[in-house]
Amino acid sequence: MHPCDRPRLVLVAAVASNGCIGRQNDLPWHLPEDLQHFKSVTRGGTVLLGRKTYESIVQRLGRPLPGRYHLVLSRNTRWQPQPDHAQHVQTVQSIEQAIHLANERLADTLFVIGGAELYTATQDIADSAELTEVELLPEGDAFFPGWSPKGWENARLPNCKAGDWQLSKASGLRYRFLRYSKPKVNIKLGAAVLLAGDAKRFGGQPKGLLENQSGSILRQTVKALLSVGVDHVCLVHGGHAGALVPAVDGLEVEHLENPEPRKGQARSQQLGLIQLGDALDGYLICLGDQPLLDKEGLRRLICAFRKREPVVDMVYPESHDGKPGNPVIVTPELRHWFASQSQPVLGKDWRQSNPAKAAAFPTARPGFFVDIDSEDDLNAFNAGQKQEDRLAMPLGYTFQRSAAR
């Protein structure tokens, strides 16, 4: 598994001032405000927890946590939840297996909710932590790793935002919410979105205008690019700008017309890359008609680009059966090469001729590979999305032609 192709790991814990988190497989305090906070952080998500914590939850509530999917870690291969809880619970034997299953469920985040053994095992790879500090010095037998009374200032997750101390009405305890995250080195990115296809198989309506209740594919793609921190988005049109420009109304993008769209996509790509300029650290080449491309997929691809080997000039998604996907990200050096060719070259052709300089980002996320090319594709896609066993897409994730044709 590629280290970038995984959900964000977030530790969620309530920790007393002396680091204590538990006593006799239960919480040493009752703090309703923290339980509410825990619920709002993890609601609807996938949680990873140790077998002992799982059993303590079931003992307290009589069932698993409502509205969350549980991955319960145990070394005992025969351990199983009660049959009537099994729908919301899966046993895992390792953290890698938990990450793999969370990926299959398309989870963006995996919440590690304890106990002490689980926090210790995941602390090094965690991306952030949502902690509630409880002002109390209880006796206990389970402790948060690396905790000091001053907080986590010297620990491995150095960036901390601390909320104000608050007083619990129900228990009289003082508590505060802390958020730790790993510092990020920002890189400056641009994206050329290629929209000059002739849309013949859709009766002249660009595929990026197919829409669901979240908006058109194009608008969702541009929003995803902006939300992962792409600094400069350039849409390259080829005759459909009149219909496409309104679809991104209010979003910070630049529009560019390819005057000769019939000469092929390579020229649109070249024009887009030239327009983005040479001052960025990476350049995405996007299609603008991929119905499932989302922020989470882009976040992982950008992570793979950041972690590329020095010889690599292009990072592209690749399915586990070897199918290349989109978008791809190229370095400033390769952008310069594409921009300066008298005969424009497609990214795909460069990749095939330069395998040593193109790195695959192996992933199963459908957003990189699913394409709707024809009316038949659209019907098949919509039928698949309606199936009960579909992946964790929001309900009703089907697309129609835009009403404003």
Backbone angles phi, psi at 100, to 5 degrees: -60, -45
Q: Which of 4, 10, 13, 315 touches ligand NAP by CB under 6 A?
A: 13
Q: Judged by CB under 6 A, does residue 337 bind ligand NAP? A: no
SS3 376: helix
Q: Judged by CB under 6 A, does residue 51 bind ligand NAP? A: yes
Half-sphere exposure of residue 267, counting CA atoms within 13 Å on the CB side? 14
Site for ligand NAP in 105-124 (CB under 6 A): 113-118, 121
Nearer to ligand NAP, 98 or 222 (CB): 98
- Determine the Cα–Cα distance for residues 343 and 241; give it in Å rounded to an integer: 25
Q: Judged by CB under 6 A, does residue 17 bind ligand NAP? A: no
- To ligand NAP, the closest distance from the beta carbon of 79 in angstroms equals 5
Look up residue 272 and give its two tokens. 């887009």
Taking CA 149 as the corner, what is the angle to CA 144 and CA 155, rounded to the nearest 5 degrees? Answer: 60
Say if residue 275 is exposed, middle or buried (CB neighbours under 10 Å; 0-12, 13-18, 19+): middle
Q: Which of 17, 41, 58, 74 touches ligand NAP by CB under 6 A?
A: 74
* Stated length of the chain: 405
- To ligand NAP, the closest distance from the beta carbon of 118 in angstroms equals 4
Q: Peptide bond before 115: cis, by omega within 30 degrees of 0?
A: yes
Site for ligand NAP in 128-147 (CB under 6 A): 142
Size of site (CB under 6 A) for ligand NAP: 27
Look up residue 241 and give its two tokens. 């700008």
Q: Which of 42, 53, 290, 326 touches ligand NAP by CB under 6 A?
A: 53
- To ligand NAP, the closest distance from the beta carbon of 116 in angstroms equals 3
SS3 203: coil
Look up residue 267 and give its two tokens. 């020229």
Query: Which DSSP state fits 148?
Result: B
Find out whether 132 and 13 touch, Cβ atoms under 8 Å.
yes
- To ligand NAP, the closest distance from the beta carbon of 95 in angstroms equals 6
Select from 68-76, 149-157, 183-191, 312-320 the region that touches ligand NAP (CB under 6 A): 68-76
Find out whether 350 and 364 touch, Cβ atoms under 8 Å.
no
Q: Judged by CB under 6 A, does residue 81 bind ligand NAP? A: no
- To ligand NAP, the closest distance from the beta carbon of 140 in angstroms equals 7
- Beta-bridge partner residues of 10: 111, 128
Select from 25-33, 103-111, 185-193, 302-310 the region that touches ligand NAP (CB under 6 A): 25-33
Backbone angles phi, psi at 140, to 5 degrees: -165, 180
Q: Judged by CB under 6 A, does residue 160 bind ligand NAP? A: no
Nearer to ligand NAP, 16 or 210 (CB): 16
- To ligand NAP, the closest distance from the beta carbon of 129 in angstroms equals 11
Residues that bind ligand NAP (CB under 6 A): 13-14, 21-22, 25-27, 50-53, 56, 73-76, 79, 93-94, 113-118, 121, 142
